[in-house]
Structure formats: C-alpha cells, structure tokens
Amino acid sequence: MPVVLAVNPLSPQADVLAEAARVLQSGGLVAFPTETVYGLGARALDERALARIFEAKGRPTHHPLIAHVEDEARARSLAASWPEAASRLARAFWPGPLTVVVDRARHVPPAIGGGDSSIALRVPAHPVALALLALLGEPIAAPSANRYQGLSPTTAAHVVKELGHRVDLVLDAGPCAAGIESTVIDVRVDPPRVLRLGAADLAALKRIAPGLSARVEVSESTATRASPGMDARHYAPRARMVLALSRDAALALARELLAAEGGPVGLVLREAATASEAAGLDLRVLPNEPREYARRLYGTLHDLDDAGARAIVVQAVPADDEAWWAIADRLERGSTVVR
Ligand code: TXA
Ligand code: MG
C-alpha cells in the first residue's frame, strides 16, 4: 500500500509538501487533491515519469494527460501559441475547473499530448495542489487517480482502493469540492469547442467565449474522437450501471434486477422512495440540485461498488437543463443501457 499523508486542505504543512516534491523529483507518482477529483501526478517534463502514469493507470499511451500549472504564465510557457480565447478563459476561470487545449511547445515531451501536437493545461483551485506546484517549480501531469475507464476518486481512500501500490504517495486532504472532472475546451478552433463537459459553469463559459460549441457527442469509436475522454465507456463503476428515465421506472427496474440477479442491487434516486418501495434495494437519494449531486455522485457509486452491488440503477437527470449536462454525460458513459 502507498504511504498516505494527511494534509491540511486550507494551509498545507510544509513538511508534507516537501516530501511530496521529493517523491516527484525522484520520478515518483504522487496522488494529490484538486477541487474536482484527485489527480495522479508526475513531473510533466520527464518522459519516464509520464510513462509511469500510463502504466499505473493501465491507460493506452494515446490518451493525453492534463498538465497542471500554478498560473497562466507557466501555462503559456508550455504552449506554442496562446490564442486570445485562452487568455480570456484563463483570466475568468483560473484557478478553477477549466482545462484548455492548445498547441504544444517544442520542448514539452509528446507523450503528454498522447502523441498529438497539443497540450491540455489547467490551474487547479486547491491550496494543496497550488502549493505543491509552487514548491516544485515545474508543471505536474495528472490524470484522475483511477485505473483506466474507472470511476474518478473524490477521496484519498478511493485512490488507495483503485491504485494501491501503483502510487508512491497519497496526499489526503479530505473530499473534493466539485466531485466531477474539469471542463475541457479546445481553443485552437474559433469559436472554441467543448471536448468534455465538466465542473465549470457552462453559462459562464459561454459569456466569456461567445459562440462556444458545447455539443459533446458520446462516440463509440476512438478513431473518430477529438478527445479520448469522449470514448463511450468511461467513468464506470465495477457494477453494471443502468439508467432509467424516471423515479418510478428506476424503482421498477431495480426490483426486476433484484429478482433476476438475487445479488445486491443499488438504486440512486433524486427523489425520495418509501421503505416498502425500496425494500431489499440499496437505496441512495442524492440532492436534486446539480452541484450537490455532482459532489456526491462518484462517492455514492464507489460506496455501492464497495457494498458489492451487482447492478446499479440510476434515475436519469434532466436533459433539458444545461446545468445537469456534465452529470448526464458521465452517467451515460458509465452505464451500459438506458431504459
Ligand atoms: O478535473 C480534472 O480534469 C482531473 C484533475 C486531476 O485535474 N483530471 C482529469 O484527467 O480528469 P483525465 O486524464 O482523467 O482526463 C483528461 C481529459 C480526457 O478527456 C482527455 O482526453 C482530455 O482531458 N485531454 C487531455 N489532453 C488532451 C489533449 N491534448 N487534447 C484533447 N483532449 C485532451
Ligand atoms: Mg480520468
């Protein structure tokens, strides 16, 4: 098992940060908190360290990584060009849950862009991540700290469960505030284009980047992808996850699966159910509000996996309200069937 060090989320202890920087400098992997999810960090300019990330995640090497930086100036130093839209978005959203994709500077290893000519960059809004970046003085590449296609971790315990000894050190600062990954925007095109919906507020993004194209298709084929995180299957619990369009359909389907499978069946609703309606089911009711829902979603799915659920039925979220779109996207990618 990895070494886990507790760290104060608001004012991280100097000795803990120094130990994390030491592990990174020696080419190791450090899982650290961000405001979205926990990241699996390594020195972004060190090809061997990047290779260790791909190996630890079991992730194909053509899937690019986000470079985390402490400010816009550092971001620009890793880019071959810095479009006007990048400046505007960076000023409005950094530090924060927004990742921009730009052309990569020549001195940056191609591996970080998955072999493509681009690089994804973000300044995370978490005191621990920012303090670690400042102390290290160089960018940190960090995908979410989970195995390939699995659920992102929102606590240090999730990281340990998912990656075990594959990570050298885990910084534990408690649960992440947003609970869902950053929004990824390609600013090499005009107007900019959303590659992955996420924690940044879409309405606010559109105000800063007028004309922003936000239609993200779930693609069955990696050949047609613009961003590998757009693969159809991603963000999935171990249990088979099934989406149902209403509370009543979810209850009916969960009872049907319980009768068929016998094993534990999880049910995730946005509206209450009575004890008799949910008899025999592992019921979790999440808040019917997108930010609170996002904060708790992955933790709930991790819990149901840990409880041994064979199947998890989830009540779908409102498709007509863009505040729910990022969540709808993750639920669709994580599930096998929609009923
Ligand atoms: O919130 C987050 O973004 C978290 C925290 C740790 O920062 N990180 C994260 O990384 O979710 P990861 O690797 O799990 O997802 C990165 C997403 C993927 O969808 C990937 O395809 C996309 O960003 N991406 C990264 N670099 C890219 C690039 N050069 N071009 C296009 N898409 C890119
Ligand atoms: Mg990920």
Residue 224: pLDDT band (50, 70, 90) is very low
Rounded to two decimals, what is the model's pTM?
0.95
Q: Give distance in angstroms: CA of 201 to centre of ligand 2.
A: 19
Residue in the block written with tokens 């194909």: 60
Q: What is the tens place of the pLDDT at every residue in 16-39?
A: 999 999 999 999 999 999 999 999
228: Cβ below 6 Å to ligand 1? yes
Residue 271 is encoded by which pair of tokens? 């509206």
pLDDT at 336: 79
How crowded is residue 157: how many other Cβ atoms within 10 Å of its Cβ? 16
pLDDT at 338: 60
Residue 221 in this model has a pLDDT that exceeds 60? no
Residue 261: pLDDT band (50, 70, 90) is confident
Kindly give the number of the ligand 1 atom that is closest to the alpha carbon of 39.
6
Alpha carbon nearest to ligand 1 atom 3, residue: 182
- Note the ligand closest to the C-alpha atom of 99: 1
- Note the ligand closest to the C-alpha atom of 235: 2
Residue 180 is encoded by which pair of tokens? 């869902």
pLDDT cut 70: percent of the chain above it:
94
